[in-house]
Amino acid sequence: MLRSLFAGVTGSRSHQSRMDVIGNNIANVNTIGYKSARMTFQEAFAQTIRSGSRPSENIGGTNPAQIGLGNMIRSIDVDMTQGGLESTEKLTDMAIDGDGFFVLSDGEATKYTRDGSFTLDGEGYLVAPGSGYKVMGWMATDGKIDKSESLKAIRIQLGESMTAQATDMVRYRGNLNAESSGLFDLEALGIGAEVARMLHDAAKAAAETANNRSDVATGVESRETSINTDISALLTAANNAASSSGATATHVVAAIRQDATVTDPDLRNAVADACDRVASAIPGATAQDVISALERIQNTVATVTARATEAAQEAAADDSATPADVRDAVGDVLDSTNVLLASAQAAPSEWSTQTEIYDSQGVKHELHLVFTKVDDNRWVWRAVSPGATGEGTVIFRADGTVDRDYMSQQVVVDPANGAALINATLDFSNITQFGAGSSVADAFVTGFPSGTLESFKIDPDGTITGIYSNQQNEILGQIVLAKFTNPAGLSRDGNNLYTETANSGTANIGSAAESGRGKIMSGQVEMSNVDLAREFTDMIITLRGFQANARLITTAEEMLQELIQLKR
């Protein structure tokens, strides 16, 4: 009889404890990151009245006779399933979508939590406001994180200054029009138009004094011969100068300008000027560059003079033609040559682009580059902004991409304000030469002025990126997560904190979104995973269990009372 009384007592106590667990769950239904608990019972020790016996040949075995002594608490399990996520739009609020715990420390003890409702303290440390424990992770140095270093308290110092950085690289992208006229062609057409004018002048002069149309054609033929003879003489002088040891483009241009064998000094000077412009436009121009330009001029002049002579001869062959008709035929060649020159000039052979760069003091400067097409697949560039020194050549392959040897070149800019010289690498690897309009512009530029930290963002892997007033972003650090083999084995320490135990396993600390750790969701918090419907159901069951055990106690007490009254 006493056994039933004690069984009722143990049952009542166990159900009281279970009600305590349920009450704690309901009390924490709105606690951020709270994990609900569940109590389970087990049978207490049973008293054996009679042991069991084994079967024999003539009689069967008997089962043991045992009377239980009530129940006891078997376990209080923690449900570590994830709660729902609630958006708060607060930068320092974080929720873990998946497995893992934030790592916190007070400098001595290490704690773990799912409650990511953090805030910044007066020194910029990211802390749990209820306990003051600091959030741990890796801090970056110059925007780089070394994960081999020990964990440190995450610190985000709003208002912190970022030092200015000078530009050291400009990456360009875009197209240079393959249909643009090259410098060689433009200069050659310019001389061709000048020669056509000379032939027309010769035709006009002959038409004014000639007695017949044949005299005009003869005058044009004579001028053609003298022009081509002079061009050949200039080319010979240029080749002779270029053959000398150490000859430069300047030497060749001087030889052209000083050639005394030429009968027409105006033609000589026009050709010399054209070659001089070529030499000046091409960075590091060589004697061969001038020779190439002169050869292009010779070919163009030969074509123009041949067309003019042919036109004059065809006009003179007409019996009804007059000297003026022959003159006009040569004039038509002049007009057509001018049209070709205008058409070539209409397809721009130059393209310019401007880029904002910064010196070591964070002062902004303009870098102005001018690209000029020299010949097929060959462009030159020159820095023309104040204080800028730099020029070079860009060679394209047949497929329109930049030749590997010309992808990277240098420019130097003197800020002229006490700051250090700006030495920048120009990356032309993404420039193309196709039959489309020119569009080269900067795609990426290093360097920036000084700035202050205004805000930050937190990526799913825990990386904290600072956003500065100078429009620059820099990695400040990375929040880590800890994962346990048995998270339910952690010990609750209050303030939504957990401590590692022997049965939880050792904390596996690392980056979020790696090795089974969840993602960090900034601007959100994890709600409690308490299921009120389940809790109220368990409350009813627990109440009924407690009532039954209480009734057992009262019934056993009545039986004892009856037993006592038997003596009376």
Q: Is the pTM of this model over 0.75?
A: no
152: nearest Cα among 429, 509, 416: 509
Q: How confident is the model at residue 174 (pLDDT cuts 50, 70, 90)?
A: very high
pLDDT for res 67: 80
Whole-angstrom CA distances from 396 to 175, 176, 302, 408 are 11, 10, 30, 13
pLDDT, tens digit, 9 for 90 and up, residues 494-510: 899 999 999 999 999 99
The residues, ordered by sequence, that sit 6+ positions from 498 with a Cβ below 8 Å of its Cβ are: 101, 111, 112, 113, 490, 491, 492
pLDDT for res 72: 84
pLDDT for res 567: 67
Q: Give yes or no for residue 347 having a pLDDT over 80.
A: no
Amino acid, single-letter form, for residue 74: R
Arithmetic mean of pLDDT over the chain:
91
Q: Give yes or no for residue 540 having a pLDDT over 80.
A: yes
- The first and second tokens of residue 289, run together, are 């560059």
Q: Give yes or no for residue 281 having a pLDDT over 70.
A: yes
Q: β-strands 378-383, 364-375: how paired?
A: antiparallel
Determine the Cα angle at 11 with ends 7 and 13, to 5°: 120
- The first and second tokens of residue 421, run together, are 């010289």
pLDDT for res 344: 84
What is the arithmetic mean of pLDDT over 468-479?
A: 93
For residue 482, the cross-strand partners are 101, 509
pLDDT for res 45: 75
DSSP assignment string, 151-219: PEE-B--TT-EE--B---EEEEEEE--TTSPPHHHHHHHHHHHHHHHHHHHHHHHHHHH-SSHHHHHHH
What is the arithmetic mean of pLDDT over 117-126?
A: 95
φ and ψ at residue 116, rounded to 5 degrees: -100, 25
Q: Give yes or no for residue 109 having a pLDDT over 60.
A: yes
CA distance 49 to 56: 21
CA distance 116 to 135: 10
pLDDT for res 7: 76
Contact call for residues 423 and 169 (beta carbons, < 8 A): no
pLDDT for res 102: 97
CB atoms within 10 A of CB 107: 8
Whole-angstrom CA distances from 22 to 74, 79, 114, 489, 545 are 16, 13, 21, 19, 14
CA distance 343 to 348: 10
* Fold entry, domain 169-179+349-445: Tick-borne Encephalitis virus Glycoprotein; domain 1 (2.60.98)
pLDDT for res 393: 93
What is the arithmetic mean of pLDDT over 77-90?
A: 93
CA distance 88 to 94: 9
Q: How confident is the model at residue 75 (pLDDT cuts 50, 70, 90)?
A: confident
The residues, ordered by sequence, that sit 6+ positions from 129 with a Cβ below 8 Å of its Cβ are: 117, 118, 119
**Strand ranges inside 229-358, DSSP E:** 350-358
Whole-angstrom CA distances from 64 to 3, 45, 69, 154 are 18, 14, 16, 64
Q: How confident is the model at residue 136 (pLDDT cuts 50, 70, 90)?
A: very high
More confident residue, 343 or 461: 461
448: nearest Cα among 376, 332, 555, 364: 364
Contact call for residues 482 and 100 (beta carbons, < 8 A): yes
Q: How confident is the model at residue 2 (pLDDT cuts 50, 70, 90)?
A: low
Q: Give yes or no for residue 207 having a pLDDT over 80.
A: yes
pLDDT for res 291: 92
Q: Give yes or no for residue 445 having a pLDDT over 80.
A: yes
Contact call for residues 243 and 370 (beta carbons, < 8 A): no
Q: β-strands 422-432, 169-175: how paired?
A: parallel
Q: Give yes or no for residue 1 having a pLDDT over 60.
A: no
Whole-angstrom CA distances from 389 to 85, 378, 386, 411 are 58, 21, 9, 6
pLDDT for res 432: 96
Residue environment code for 24-61, b if the CB has 16+ CB neighbours within 10 A, otherwise e:
ebeebeebbbbbbbbbebeeeeeeeeeeeeeeeeeeee
Q: Give yes or no for residue 562 having a pLDDT over 80.
A: no
SS3 state at 352: strand
39-48, 273-282, 553-562 — which one is most confidently predicted on average?
273-282
What is the arithmetic mean of pLDDT over 531-555?
A: 88
Q: Give yes or no for residue 127 having a pLDDT over 90.
A: yes
pLDDT for res 568: 61
| Farthest-apart Cα atoms in the chain, separation | 175
What is the arithmetic mean of pLDDT over 451-459?
A: 94
pLDDT, tens digit, 9 for 90 and up, residues 355-409: 999 999 999 999 999 999 998 999 999 999 999 999 999 999 999 999 999 999 9
pLDDT for res 44: 82
φ and ψ at residue 270, rounded to 5 degrees: -65, -40
Q: Return the domain boundaries, the chain.
A: 2-77+535-565, 85-163+452-526, 169-179+349-445, 183-346
What percent of the chain is predicted at pLDDT more than 70? 99
SS3 state at 127: strand
CA distance 279 to 543: 103
What is the arithmetic mean of pLDDT over 175-182?
A: 91
Q: How confident is the model at residue 91 (pLDDT cuts 50, 70, 90)?
A: very high
pLDDT for res 550: 83
More confident residue, 85 or 560: 85
pLDDT, tens digit, 9 for 90 and up, residues 7-58: 778 878 888 889 999 999 999 999 999 999 999 888 887 778 888 888 888 8
CA 246, chain centre distance (Å): 48
36: nearest Cα among 25, 26, 21, 22: 25
Determine the Cα angle at 50 with ends 44 and 55, to 5°: 120
